Chain A
Amino acid sequence: MDYATVLQILDSAMRLTAPLLLACLAGLWSERAGVFDIGLEGKMLIAAFAAAAVAAVTGSVWVGLAAGIGASLALAAVHALASITFRGNQLISGVAINFLASGLTVLLGQSWFGLGGRTPSLEGAARAAPITLPGAEGVRGVPVIGPLYADVLSGHTPLVYLALALVPATWWVLFRTRFGLRLRAVGENPASVDTAGVSVVRLRWAAVLIAGVLCGLAGAYLATGLSAGFVKEMTAGRGYIALAALIFANWRPWRALGATFLFGLMEAVANRFPSLDLGPVTVPSMFMTALPYILTVIILAGFIGRATPPRAGGEPYVKER
């Protein structure tokens, strides 16, 4: 494998990591506040659809992005209303959201565009344009480091850089601000926040809505950055992979970056080498494509490390003496 191939795979891994990272951070915000969010998948899917549909109609990727965030926020509000305000089961609410998004996107897509659930292909200003980082062309000639900067780090759409910037931002807000302290407390022992006179419901709503925004970004990126339009079920389980990465990351922002990059890298390798020739045996392409999902199962089964989820995760808060 030559250096050019390595660069190609890393570049592809960067692009594939971004949606996973955004979804993983969304889950991190929600679950740190004690609200399980199995509906990452559905929120991403509806955001991808809304972003693609609106971008196709308006011709503007930015209006599409806003629509994606709006659609994801709407589903996040449903989740918050059901699981926080009405103290419903968080898993059931999340599953409902996934089904809703899966059916609704195809139904609306068919009735609006008549393309069998797809949206029209996006072109020009309706697609996210790559950014060339300053000095990228200048350093291309520098051995090893130069191409790494010019070909791998530079040349992605804005949402990739936003996703990366959100890692330190999430860490800083969670661990260095009053809001973050209260939010983490609400995920560990909501009674501690309640008896301090702070509203548990309001904090959890805030966390779930932040997750909604992040899923909106992830979905919009899928449809307008990674691809050029929406296709049926285009999230392809990324919401669940993000959840697995979240567990693998032990609900920490920096580790979330590492975990999602691992998944992104695997997907990139699988894309580059559909069937891996290892001399005597050839690993079939089906196995390579399934690799991220196999890793997901292994992580969810608890084979890697010990995960300590937020203590109050999944439990609606009921005041008691």
Chain B
Amino acid sequence: MGLTATAAAGAPAAAPFAIELRGISKAFGPVQANRDIALAVPRGTIHGIVGENGAGKSTLMSILYGFYRPDAGTILIDGRAVAIRDSQAAIRAGIGMVFQHFKLVPNFTVLENVILGAEDGALLAPSLSRARSELRRLAAEYRLDVDPDAVVGDLSVGHQQRVEILKALHRHARVLILDEPTGVLTPAEADHLFRILRGLREQGTTVVLITHKLREIMEITDNVSVMRRGEMVATRPTAATTPESLAELMVGRKVLLRVDKAPARPGPPVLELSGLRMVDADGVERLRGIDLTVRAGEILGVAGVSGNGQTQLMEILGGYAEPGATVTGRAALKGAALPLAGADAAQRRRAGIGNIPEDRQAEGLVMDFAAWENMVFGHHRDPEYQSGPVMDHAAIRARTARLMAQFDVRPPLGDLAARNFSGGNQQKIVVAREIEENPALLLVGQPTRGVDIGAIEFIHRRLIELRDAGCAILLVSVELDEIMALSDRIAVMFDGRIMGERMPDAATAGELGLMMAGAAAS
């Protein structure tokens, strides 16, 4: 698990680690974001940290940068234990951080942003002129060219990121942490960034790169650590690992859940997508031409590391694409064209699409509303729940009582606010609401995330029953085991594309892992 200095590429055997974390733990309420983390980063190396969204990478780096205080554990910088109480302490210890969402002042110039918080004295003029000459030196040394007098808000995202790196170097950072740095970059900008990072390594700077893109890890890092569900599960020299094994480590291999199901009897196509593209408000292409068909009576599982376009796909089909996004392509539901733009969630429901969203607390439920109110959302305009101009509370409550019994929601109290149910029972409320209306197509996102084992089995059984009743189900999950257990066909998604399709009995986790990491289907 731990990494010894001798195993690390590019570091002398006796050199102390630039960063060493021992037993770091951090909990937010009941959620254990980091559990007993050990990490050692040799000086002058590029160290990758991979893991899915929510694996705890960002929390760990925020602890290192003084944004959070760990509940337990020690941090050693260059072999000495330091207490990082705030960002100022982290900066003094030589740590610089480039956040995923830049911390720049848009209407300030590059120079003003660089000196902010690290000025030489009470007057600005001397700081500005010193920063100007230092920027010139850094630009020459690391190819970090940016016009010092440009207003940051006018710069491209790639240039803004360089300003963030310059900020850190101006503060004499010897360890540079970058959180998902390429998420917003074009491929050319990303290549330029990697050249900058290699230049920094040559000059002795230690770089920590947080990402979930395995290609980047393989391309640029010396060592790589994998996080999963708040734990550090492995640290390896990059040369001694493969994208396939990293993908497996990231996704994890739980005890296989057995789902008894009869072979699917696929009917006519229900959902047909061709050439679906989506460019978000920032101009980044999130979906790059998706072709998919889901038939009646089958479950199509979409596997993939999160952040590869699954969320965007589900939101577009659910009728609530990200504002400002441009969606193109063709979609058809039961042979009739399905408008991709200008639709809303209500129209989708009327068209026969049920939706169990990925983030049930944000999109599936109103947490402060009672269960009976949540049970009727999306169907509250149906005539059967109306009594003249007002809602028929008696009918809605009766429906809630019936569904709660049928889906074994515990406790079966319709007046209880959604937030007072456990994760599994919250999900049962959503599942009950969506299945009850007999949709032609059911969108299912991360159905068992944060759900206990008993509820997982229950929800899986209900999905299979719905399939057997002829519903077409599009299932998105980052749990490979869940995909393999439930799906009748598996499509692997990577970087906004479908990498290929496999039948579950003919595919191995290793092969799927490789596709999830971006390797083309053979």
Interface residues of A, Cβ cutoff 8 Å to B: 176-182, 184-185, 188-189, 191-198, 311, 319, 321
Taking the nearest CB of chain B, how far is it from the CB of A8, in angstroms? 42
- Interface centre among A178, A184, A189, A195, by most B CB within 10 Å? A195
Taking the nearest CB of chain B, how far is it from the CB of A7, in angstroms? 41
Taking the nearest CB of chain B, how far is it from the CB of A209, in angstroms? 19
Taking the nearest CB of chain B, how far is it from the CB of A96, in angstroms? 26
Taking the nearest CB of chain A, how far is it from the CB of B111, in angstroms? 11
Q: Which stretch of B123-131, B292-300, B403-411 is in the interface?
A: B123-131
Select which of B58, B62, B108, B116 is within 8 A of A196 by beta carbon.
B116
Q: Residue B27 at the A interface, CB < 8 A?
A: no
- Across-interface contacts of B62 in A (CB, < 8 A): 321
Q: A185 vs B99: C-alpha distance in the bound complex, in angstroms?
A: 17
Select which of B106, B117, B121, B123 is within 8 A of A198 by beta carbon.
B117
Least CB separation from A198: chain B residue? B117
Least CB separation from B91: chain A residue? A197
The answer to whether A321 and B121 have CB atoms under 8 Å apart is no
Taking the nearest CB of chain A, how far is it from the CB of B419, in angstroms? 20
When each residue 111-144 of chain B gets 1 if its CB lies under 8 Å from chain A and 0 otherwise, what string results? 0110111110111110100000000000000000
How many cross-chain pairs have Cβ atoms below 8 Å apart between A and B?
76
Supposing A176-B123, A178-B122, A189-B104 touch, asked if A196 and B59 sit within 8 A by C-beta, the answer is no
Q: A188 vs B87: C-alpha distance in the bound complex, in angstroms?
A: 19
Select which of B87, B107, B118, B122 is within 8 A of A179 by beta carbon.
B122
The answer to whether B123 and A178 have CB atoms under 8 Å apart is yes
Main secondary structure of the interface of A (DSSP, over half): helix
**Residues 340-365 (chain B) with a chain A CB within 8 angstroms:** none
Q: Residue B194 at the A interface, CB < 8 A?
A: no
- Across-interface contacts of A184 in B (CB, < 8 A): 105, 108
Q: Residue B392 at the A interface, CB < 8 A?
A: no
The answer to whether A181 and B112 have CB atoms under 8 Å apart is yes
- Across-interface contacts of B104 in A (CB, < 8 A): 189, 192
Q: Residue B67 at the A interface, CB < 8 A?
A: yes
Q: Residue B103 at the A interface, CB < 8 A?
A: yes
- Across-interface contacts of B115 in A (CB, < 8 A): 181
The answer to whether B122 and A194 have CB atoms under 8 Å apart is no
Least CB separation from B97: chain A residue? A195
The answer to whether A181 and B58 have CB atoms under 8 Å apart is no
Least CB separation from B62: chain A residue? A321
The answer to whether A185 and B67 have CB atoms under 8 Å apart is no
Least CB separation from A180: chain B residue? B124
The answer to whether B123 and A181 have CB atoms under 8 Å apart is no
Taking the nearest CB of chain A, how far is it from the CB of B386, in angstroms? 36
Q: Residue B437 at the A interface, CB < 8 A?
A: no
Taking the nearest CB of chain A, how far is it from the CB of B118, in angstroms? 7
Supposing A188-B106, A195-B99 touch, asked if A182 and B122 sit within 8 A by C-beta, the answer is no
Supposing A181-B124, A321-B62 touch, asked if A196 and B118 sit within 8 A by C-beta, the answer is yes
Least CB separation from B112: chain A residue? A181
Taking the nearest CB of chain B, how far is it from the CB of A241, in angstroms? 27
Taking the nearest CB of chain B, how far is it from the CB of A183, in angstroms? 11
The answer to whether A182 and B88 have CB atoms under 8 Å apart is no
- Across-interface contacts of A180 in B (CB, < 8 A): 124
The answer to whether B124 and A189 have CB atoms under 8 Å apart is no
Taking the nearest CB of chain A, how far is it from the CB of B165, in angstroms? 14
Least CB separation from A187: chain B residue? B105
- Across-interface contacts of A191 in B (CB, < 8 A): 103
Q: A211 vs B241: C-alpha distance in the bound complex, in angstroms?
A: 60
27 A-B residue pairs with Cβ-Cβ distance under 8 Å, sorted by A, are A176-B123, A177-B123, A177-B124, A178-B124, A178-B127, A179-B122, A181-B115, A181-B116, A181-B124, A185-B105, A188-B105, A189-B105, A189-B106, A192-B103, A192-B104, A192-B113, A195-B65, A195-B87, A195-B99, A196-B116, A196-B117, A196-B167, A197-B86, A198-B88, A311-B107, A321-B67, A321-B99
4 cross-chain pairs, A with B, having the tightest CB-CB distances, nearest first: A196-B117, A197-B88, A197-B87, A178-B119
- Across-interface contacts of A188 in B (CB, < 8 A): 105-108
The answer to whether B112 and A194 have CB atoms under 8 Å apart is no
- Across-interface contacts of B99 in A (CB, < 8 A): 195, 321
The answer to whether A176 and B125 have CB atoms under 8 Å apart is yes
Q: A179 vs B119: C-alpha distance in the bound complex, in angstroms?
A: 10
- Across-interface contacts of B89 in A (CB, < 8 A): 197
Least CB separation from A197: chain B residue? B88
Taking the nearest CB of chain B, how far is it from the CB of A272, in angstroms? 41
Q: A181 vs B67: C-alpha distance in the bound complex, in angstroms?
A: 23
Taking the nearest CB of chain B, how far is it from the CB of A263, in angstroms? 27
- Across-interface contacts of A195 in B (CB, < 8 A): 65, 87, 97, 99, 103
Q: A150 vs B246: C-alpha distance in the bound complex, in angstroms?
A: 83
- Across-interface contacts of A321 in B (CB, < 8 A): 58-59, 62, 67, 99
Taking the nearest CB of chain B, how far is it from the CB of A31, in angstroms? 14
The answer to whether A196 and B124 have CB atoms under 8 Å apart is no
Supposing A185-B116, A192-B116, A321-B58 touch, asked if A176 and B124 sit within 8 A by C-beta, the answer is yes
- Across-interface contacts of A179 in B (CB, < 8 A): 122
The answer to whether B123 and A193 have CB atoms under 8 Å apart is no
Q: A185 vs B109: C-alpha distance in the bound complex, in angstroms?
A: 11
A178-B122, A188-B108 are known; give 6 further A-B pairs, CB within 8 A: A177-B122, A185-B105, A194-B87, A319-B67, A321-B58, A321-B99
Q: A321 vs B88: C-alpha distance in the bound complex, in angstroms?
A: 16
The answer to whether A311 and B103 have CB atoms under 8 Å apart is no
- Across-interface contacts of A196 in B (CB, < 8 A): 87, 91, 103, 116-118, 167
- Across-interface contacts of B122 in A (CB, < 8 A): 177-179
Q: A67 vs B205: C-alpha distance in the bound complex, in angstroms?
A: 57
Taking the nearest CB of chain A, how far is it from the CB of B67, in angstroms? 6
- Interface centre among B87, B91, B105, B127, by most A CB within 10 Å? B105
**Residues 82-104 (chain B) with a chain A CB within 8 angstroms:** 86-91, 97, 99, 103-104
Q: A177 vs B62: C-alpha distance in the bound complex, in angstroms?
A: 30
Least CB separation from B104: chain A residue? A192
Taking the nearest CB of chain A, how far is it from the CB of B195, in angstroms? 25
